[in-house]
Chains A and B, each alone.
Chain A
Amino acid sequence: MTGGRDDALAVRLRLLEGFLSRTELADCAQYALQWLADVLGVSQSICLVKPVGEQTLFAVAAHGVPGASVANFTVSLDEWVNPLVGIVNERRTTFYGASHSSAERRRRPSTPFEDTPFHVVPLGVPGVADEAFGLLLIAGTAPLGPEFHWFNSVFSQKLDEILRQQALAEADRKQGRERSLLHSIINAVTDPILLTDTEGRLLIANARALSLFTASEEESEGRRGAVRMNNMLLSSALSSKAIEETGAARRELLLVNPLDGSDLLFELLSTVTEDPRRGTGVVSILRNVSDLRRASEEIEENYRKLRVAEIQAHAESDRLNLIIDSVADPIVVTDASGATSLMNAPAERLFTTPARASAAELRWVQANDAHFSSFIAGMLVSADQRRVGEIGLTDPRTGEPMPVEAIAGKILSEHGELTAVVTILHDQREAMEKAKLYEQLKQASDELARKIQAATADIAQQNELLRRQAIELEQASALKSQFLANMSHEFRTPLNAILGYTSMLLQGVAGSVGPPVKRQLGRIESNGRHLLTIINEILDISRIEAGRMPLQISTFKVPELVAEVKSELEPIIMRSKLSITVDVPRELHPISTDRQKVKQILLNLLSNALKFTHHGGVTISARRIPKERAVTLSVRDTGIGIAPADQERIFEDFRQLDNSPTRAYGGTGLGLSICRRLAQMIGGRIEVESEMGRGSTFTLTLPIKGRR
Chain B
Amino acid sequence: MKSKTERPRVLVVDDYPDAREMYSEYLEFSGFDVIQAVNGMEALQRAVDAAPDIILMDLSLPVMDGWEATRRLKEDARTSSIPVVALTGHALAGISEGAMKAGCDAFVTKPCLPEDLVKEIRKVLDRSPQSTAARKMRRSGKYAKTIG
Contact = CB atoms under 8 A, between A and B. Distances in A.
A571 to B, nearest CB: 13
B91 interface: yes
Interface in B32-49: none
Chain B contact patch, size range: 20 to 34
A190 interface: no
A504 B25 contact: yes
Contacts of A488: 91
B144 interface: no
**Top 5 A-B pairs ranked by shortest CB distance?**
A496-B111, A497-B18, A492-B89, A496-B110, A500-B22
6 contacts: A485-B92, A496-B110, A499-B113, A509-B25, A548-B92, A550-B93
A492 B16 CA distance: 12
- The interface size bin for chain A is 20 to 34
Nearest to A536: B91
A501 interface: yes
Contact of A504 (B19, B22, B90): B22
B111 A500 contact: yes
A539 interface: yes
A487 to B, nearest CB: 11
Interface string B1-45: 000000000000000101100110110010000000000000000
A669 B131 CA distance: 47
B114 to A, nearest CB: 5
A489 interface: yes
Interface of B: 16, 18-19, 22-23, 25-26, 29, 89-94, 110-115
Given A497-B19, A500-B19, A509 B26 contact: yes
Contacts of B23: 500
Given A500-B23, A536-B91, A550-B93, A493 B29 contact: no
A578 B89 CA distance: 35
A39 to B, nearest CB: 157
Contacts of B29: 504, 509
Q: Interface on chain A toward B: helix, strand, loop, or mixed SS?
A: helix
A496 B89 contact: yes
A507 to B, nearest CB: 7
B111 A501 contact: no
Interface in A487-527: 488-489, 492-497, 499-501, 503-504, 507, 509
Given A489-B89, A501-B22, A504-B25, A495 B111 contact: yes
Given A492-B111, A503-B115, A497 B92 contact: no
B114 A489 contact: no
Contacts of A572: none
A509 B92 CA distance: 32
B77 to A, nearest CB: 34
Nearest to A531: B111
Contact of A493 (B16, B93, B94): B16
Contacts of B92: 485, 543, 548
B64 to A, nearest CB: 20
Contacts of A495: 111
Nearest to B23: A500
A548 B92 CA distance: 8
B110 A493 contact: yes
A385 B29 CA distance: 125
Contact of A503 (B18, B19, B90, B113): B113
Given A503-B114, A503-B115, A532-B111, A493 B22 contact: no
A432 interface: no
B22 A497 contact: yes
Interface of A: 485, 488-489, 492-497, 499-501, 503-504, 507, 509, 532, 536, 539, 543, 548-550
Nearest to B115: A503
B93 A500 contact: no
Contact of B19 (A489, A493, A509): A493
A405 B16 CA distance: 102
Contacts of A509: 25-26, 29
Nearest to B110: A496
B136 to A, nearest CB: 30
A666 to B, nearest CB: 18
A494 B113 CA distance: 12
Contact of B112 (A485, A496, A504): A496
A532 B89 CA distance: 12
Contacts of B91: 488, 492, 536, 539
A499 B18 CA distance: 12
B111 A489 contact: no
Contacts of B18: 494, 497
Contacts of B111: 492, 495-496, 499-500, 532
Given A496-B19, A500-B111, A501-B22, 19 more contacts: A492-B91, A492-B110, A493-B16, A493-B19, A494-B18, A495-B111, A496-B112, A499-B111, A500-B19, A500-B23, A500-B113, A504-B22, A504-B25, A504-B29, A509-B26, A509-B29, A543-B92, A543-B93, A548-B93
Contacts of A539: 91
A504 B114 contact: yes
Contacts of A550: 93-94
B98 to A, nearest CB: 13
A497 B110 CA distance: 10
B62 to A, nearest CB: 14
A494 B22 CA distance: 12
A551 B23 CA distance: 33
A549 B95 CA distance: 12
A78 to B, nearest CB: 149
Nearest to B112: A496
Contacts of B25: 504, 509
Contacts of A492: 89, 91, 110-111
Given A496-B112, A504-B26, A509-B29, A549 B93 contact: yes
A242 B5 CA distance: 166
Contacts of B19: 493, 496-497, 500
Contacts of A500: 19, 22-23, 26, 111-114
